[in-house]
A and B are shown apart, each in its own frame.
Chain A
Amino acid sequence: MSLRNVGIVYRKELTESLRDRRTLMSTILIPLLLFPVLGVGIGYAESEVFGEASREPSKIIVLGGADSPDIIAGLQRAKNLQIMPVVANYVDLISNKKIRAVVDLPPGFQAAIARGENPLVKIYIFSGDLKSSFGATRIEKYFMEYRDEMVRSRLASANLPESLMKPFETKQQNVVSAEKVAGELYGGFIPYLVILMCMTGAMYPAMDLTAGEKERGTMETILSSPTKRRDLVFGKFLLILTASLATGTLAVLSMGATFSFISRFSPSQENGERLAVLSIHPGTVLAIFVLALPVAVLFSAVLMTISLFAKSYKEAQSYLTPMSMVVIIPAVAAVLPGVELTPKLALVPIVNVSLLCKELVAGTYHWNFIALIFLSTCVYAAVALFLAIKMFQRESVLFRS
């Protein structure tokens, strides 16, 4: 192999790619903008939806209760509840979201409580609907307060201490560092992102440098030069790899910046703690990139081999689009909670790196797995690259018509 020729091919492909708007969009612009746009978009949508649901009074209907005037009066006074007239088809109204919840008071409710019985209040809701669950929570809150007040007065009248109601309390307390918490919450997302972006970045140049070259009629031109075909493949491959890694790196940087921006400017949570911010140790970032390298090599070689087979850019697109599903599914599988790294899974490409990255972000280092996964991914990448070179030497592929 002539490194000089590989370098010449690489520099020429780089020059051409940097002049191509579509490559610049897919390799640089999209990864940089994806997270700010997603972050702001999702944040805005979430605050709008929750904000509206929490501001809007819940329209409810109370069934029964004619013999329980205190309850009706209490519900009418309760914050953010609006009692509507009783209708027979209240189930339809709930399912059409005209009414958020219905309170079903048993006959003689107030009198039954006074007698010390244990009557049941039913709350009918639309399960899964945010505003319906808000309504139900508000109703329950009223009944809780009513019950607590009643117990308190009964205890007082019997000269018993209030602590009898709650003999003890429980409280959950986090003892793990904020970094680890964030790693556990969002950690799985990072390898998914790196893997997906490495593929997205490689996809367009892979098509442009192979099928695109056939389509533009420059394949025969370059084949008439004295360069060995292997050198051509390596030069092209290195450019695709560069694009793949550039996209992955930019996506991670953009995500990091978006996270830190959101955490700095978002309001504190109810418990007074700030949002768990994803801050990963630089060593972990390095480890992820070391692992991402063979994955990017694998993608670059596979995408190049597949699109080399295509006659035109369009044909290459139709081959590579299903490929992204093949990649996304294992990458998502690793994000799912409960999926853990096992020796068998360590040999499954993409899934293994995704799972390992998840552990790395959470601060767990299994060196045996790291070595095994790095090596196996290198082997897959080498096989894919070998296939790409073989494909480039087949006349039936280069001159497919």
Chain B
Amino acid sequence: MIEARGLSKRFQDKKRGEIRAVDNVSFTCQPGKIYGLLGANGAGKTTTLRMLATILEPTDGTALVCGHDVVEQPEKVRANVGFLSTATALYPRLTSQEMVEYFGRLNGLDEATLKKRIDDIFNRLDMNGFRDRRCDKLSTGMKQKTSIARTLVHDPPVMIFDEPTNGLDIMTSRTITAFIRECRDNGKTVIFSTHIMSEVQKLCDVIGIIHNGKLLAEGTLAQLRDRYSEHDLEEIFVNVVAPHFVPAEAH
């Protein structure tokens, strides 16, 4: 389970002064459900997820991941999290298997367990054909599968995906979305961010709309449709965001 409590992140920018990238955001993600964080570019999605993955430290507020505080126990949080984003690249000079082994070892798995887990994951994701190939020689799809294997190797109860399909072709995107569903079906807590409406509609059990660092609306798709009297998610999104919209020139 993930519980974000008043999560905030401020940055100092030389030209623009203080920037509130995430401003007092609270939400809860339940096991066996997919929470979709929907927002435009620069809305604060990545910063929120990076704070949940303890890659960034919150300026204010905190979050509990599987009962561990992101500020107090970041290592314990990371041990319970699988984090995947388009920014989490692979080591080009390691093979696919070495990459997964490295993260398995860093997650404290012993060699026997690690071997069993890797064999299991590589069979399940059909990766045996390229397990000894260097990551810089892999196709995009193979790379994504290796990244998935990397996040799964320690079997974390919480999965965090930051725009995982960004820039991927349709077939690779489908591998990812199928994987996200599988995580939910296995009872994992899943949160993922995107700006693609169709992905949210297809995948998410709960949707949070984030804009300018603030969580403006939250609920199931049905609840949002009810609340905003709109069927189309894009229209709902525009209705939620429009009153808070500041043109880019105003920044």
Contacts and interface: CB of A to CB of B under 8 A. Distances in A.
A12 B150 contact: no
Contacts of B83: 224
A200 B55 CA distance: 32
A110 to B, nearest CB: 83
Given A220-B85, A395-B56, A226 B94 contact: no
Interface in A370-401: 395, 399
A223 B91 CA distance: 13
Contact of B53 (A9, A19, A224): A224
Contact of B88 (A5, A20, A221, A395): A221
B108 A226 contact: yes
Contact of A224 (B57, B81, B94): B81
Interface string B29-43: 000000000000000
Nearest to B50: A220
A227 interface: yes
A16 interface: yes
Which range holds the interface residue count of chain A? Answer: 20 to 34
A220 B162 CA distance: 12
Given A16-B94, A217-B88, A220-B88, A225 B107 contact: yes
A216 interface: yes
Contacts of B238: none
A395 B57 contact: yes
A16 B98 CA distance: 10
A17 to B, nearest CB: 8
Interface string A180-197: 000000000000000000
B89 interface: yes
Contacts of B170: none
A157 interface: no
Interface string B72-87: 0001101101010101
A8 interface: yes
A35 to B, nearest CB: 30
Contact of B98 (A15, A216, A218, A228): A15
A225 B94 contact: no
A226 B93 contact: no
Contacts of A16: 91, 93-94
Contact of B150 (A9, A221, A395): A221
A218 B103 contact: no
Contacts of B50: 220
A227 B106 contact: yes
Contacts of B88: 217-218, 220-221, 224
Contacts of B106: 5, 8-9, 225-227
Contacts of B174: none
A9 B106 CA distance: 8
A217 B93 contact: no
Contacts of B150: 221
B91 A218 contact: yes
B94 A217 contact: no
B145 to A, nearest CB: 15
Contacts of B87: 217, 220
A220 B75 CA distance: 15
B102 interface: yes
A10 to B, nearest CB: 12
Contacts of B227: none
Contact of A223 (B55, B102, B107): B55
Contact of B75 (A19, A216, A218, A226): A226
B89 A226 contact: no
B93 A20 contact: yes
A270 B81 CA distance: 77
The 10 closest A-B pairs by CB, nearest first: A217-B89, A224-B83, A226-B78, A226-B79, A221-B88, A225-B106, A19-B93, A16-B93, A8-B105, A220-B87
Interface of A: 5, 8-9, 12, 15-16, 19-20, 216-218, 220-221, 223-228, 395, 399
Given A224-B81, A228-B75, 6 more contacts: A216-B92, A217-B89, A220-B85, A224-B78, A226-B79, A399-B56
22 contacts: A9-B106, A12-B91, A15-B98, A20-B93, A217-B88, A217-B89, A218-B88, A220-B50, A220-B85, A220-B87, A221-B88, A223-B55, A224-B53, A224-B55, A224-B78, A224-B83, A224-B88, A226-B75, A226-B76, A226-B108, A227-B106, A228-B75
